[in-house]
Structure 1
Amino acid sequence: MRRYARTLVTVALTVTVVSGTAGWVAGNAQQAVTGPPPGTASWRADHTLGRELPDPERDSPAAVARFFAGLTDAEQQALALRHPLVVGNLDGAPVELRYRANARALKASHDPRYAHLAKDPARRILAFDPRGRGQVAEAFGDLATAGRVSVIVPGSDIDAGTFDRTTDVYGTPAGMARSLYARTGPGTAVIAWAGYTTPVGLGLDAARGTLAEAGSVRLTRFTDGLAAAGTPVTAVFCHSYGSVVCGLAAPRLHAADLVVLGSPGMRADDVADLRTGARVWAAKDPGDWIANVPHVEFAGLGHGADPASPGFGARRVPAGDAEGHTGYFAPGTESLRAFTAIAKGAYA
Structure 2
Amino acid sequence: MTVLRNAVRRSRRTLTAAVLALAVVTGTGGWAAGTTQRAVTGPAPGAAAWRADRTLGVRLPDPAHASPAEVARFFAGLTDAQRQALAARHPLTVGNLDGAPLALRYAANSRALRAERHRELARAADPAGTPQDHQQARKAAARYATLLAPGRRILAFDPRGRGQVAEVHGDLATAQRTAVIVPGSDIDLTTFDRTANPYGTPTGMATSLRRQMAAEAPGVRTAVIAWAGYTTPVGLGPDAATGRLAEAGAPRLTRFLAGLAAIGAPAPAVLCHSYGSVVCGLAVPHTGRGDLSDLVVFGSPGMRRDDVAELRTPARVWAARDASDWIGDVPNVEVLGLGHGIDPTDPAFGARRVPARQAEGHTGYLAPGTDSLRNFAAIALGRYADVR
Summarize the Cα distance change of 1:168–1:24 in structure 2 as closer, same or farther, 3 Å threshold: closer
Q: Give the match for residue 173 of structure 1.
A: 202
Amino acid at match of 2:207: R
Give runs of aligned pairs for residues 103-252 of structure 1, distance below 5 A.
103-110=110-117, 111=120, 112-113=139-140, 114-185=143-214, 186-252=220-286
Is this contact kept in 1: 2:175–2:266, CA < 8 A?
no
How far did 1:148 drift? 1.6
TM-score by length of 2: 0.85
The answer on whether the counterparts of 1:32 and 1:197 sit within 8 Å (CA) in structure 2 is yes
8 A Cα contact 1:223 1:232, kept in partner: no
Shift of 1:46: 1.1
Once the two structures are superposed, residues 155-187 of structure 1 have per-residue CA deviations (whole angstroms, 9 ceiling, x without a partner) of 000001100000000000110000011122341
Match of 1:274 among 302, 307, 311: 311
Mean Cα deviation higher: 269-278 or 287-296: 269-278
1:94 aligned to 101, 105, 116, which one?
A: 101
TM-score w.r.t. length of structure 1: 0.95
1:68 aligned residue: 75
1:306 aligns with 2:340: no
Where does the alignment leave 5 or more consecutive residues of structure 2 unmatched? 1-5, 121-138, 215-219
1:57 Cα offset (Å): 0.6
Contact kept in structure 2, 1:81 and 1:101, CA below 8 Å: yes
The answer as to 2:84 corresponding to 1:77 is yes
The amino acid of 1:144's aligned partner reads A
CA distance in 2, matches of 1:82, 1:240: 38
Over the aligned positions, Cα root-mean-square deviation in angstroms equals 1.9
Greater radius of gyration (CA): 2
How many Å apart are 1:232 and its aligned residue? 3.8
CA distance in structure 1 between the aligned counterparts of 2:315 and 2:58, rounded to whole angstroms: 40
CA distance in 2, matches of 1:116, 1:291: 39
One-letter amino acid matched to 2:38 = Q
DSSP-derived class of the 2:384 partner:
coil
Please show how residues 254-333 of structure 1 align to structure 2 within 5 Å: 254-333=291-370
| CA–CA distance in structure 2, aligned partners of residues 308 and 191 of structure 1 | 25
CA distance in 2: counterparts of 1:264 and 1:244, whole angstroms = 8
Instruction: State percent identity of aligned pairs.
Output: 67
- Relative to 1, partners in 2 of residues 1:274 and 1:118: Cα closer, same or farther, differing over 3 Å? closer
Give the secondary-structure state (helix, strand or coil) at the position aligned to 1:302.
coil
Kindly provide the amino acid, as one letter, of the partner of residue 376 in structure 2: F
Letter in 2 for 1:250: V
- Equivalent in the alignment of 1:30: 37
SS at match of 1:151: strand
- Secondary structure of the residue aligned to 1:311 is coil
The residue aligned with 2:135 is none
**Does structure 1 retain, via aligned residues, the 8 Å contact 2:181–2:270?**
yes
Unaligned runs of 5+ in 1: none
SS of residue paired to 1:310: coil
In the aligned structure 1, how far is the partner of 2:22 from the partner of 2:260? 43
Letter of the 1:115 counterpart: Y
Shift of the 78–328 alpha-carbon distance from structure 1 to 2, 3 Å rule, reads same
Describe the shift of the 1:124–1:3 C-alpha distance in structure 2 as closer, same or farther (beyond 3 A): farther
Question: Counterpart of 1:312 in 2: which secondary structure?
Answer: coil
Please give the alpha-carbon distance, in whole angstroms, between the structure 1 residues aligned to 2:22 and 2:298.
27
